[in-house]
Amino acid sequence: MSRMSYFYNFKRAEFLAHYHQRSNVETIFSMIKGKFRERLRSKSTTAQVNEALGKVLCHNLCVVIQSMYELNVTPEFAARSRDFG
């Protein structure tokens, strides 16, 4: 019996908790790709990482704004750190 089969059969609650996290991540990736396209336009690896992180940041901002209007959520942001100026 494979390790994952054992985990699924004998520790099902823990398996499903982790599996649900995976499905959440896949949903978010699909949302980001749908909103900002799948391709990265940058050439260098560093620029690609920054571009991907920028897409994630923009997605998170869109979710906050949508929650503000649709769910009447008021976001609370952390106080400004002295280290950043």
Q: Is residue 68, in this structure, part of any structural domain at all? A: yes
Instruction: Tell whether 84 is covered by a domain.
Output: no
Neighbours of 80 (CB within 10 A): 8
CA distance 40 to 49: 9
- Same domain? For 58 and 31 the reply is no
At 84 the pLDDT is 59
Q: Are residues 34 and 53 in the same domain?
A: no
Q: In terms of domains, do 27 and 57 share one? A: no
**45 in the same domain as 34:** no
The boundaries of the domain holding residue 28 are: 1-38
In three-state form (DSSP H/G/I as H, E/B as E, the rest C), the secondary structure along the chain is CCHHHHHHHHCHHHHHHHHHHHHHHHHHHHHHHHHHCCCCCCCCHHHHHHHHHHHHHHHHHHHHHHHHHHCCCCCCCCCCCHHHC
Residue percentage of the chain with pLDDT more than 70: 93
Regarding whether 31 and 1 lie in a shared domain, the answer is yes
Same domain, 24 and 50: no
Q: What is the pTM of this model?
A: 0.68
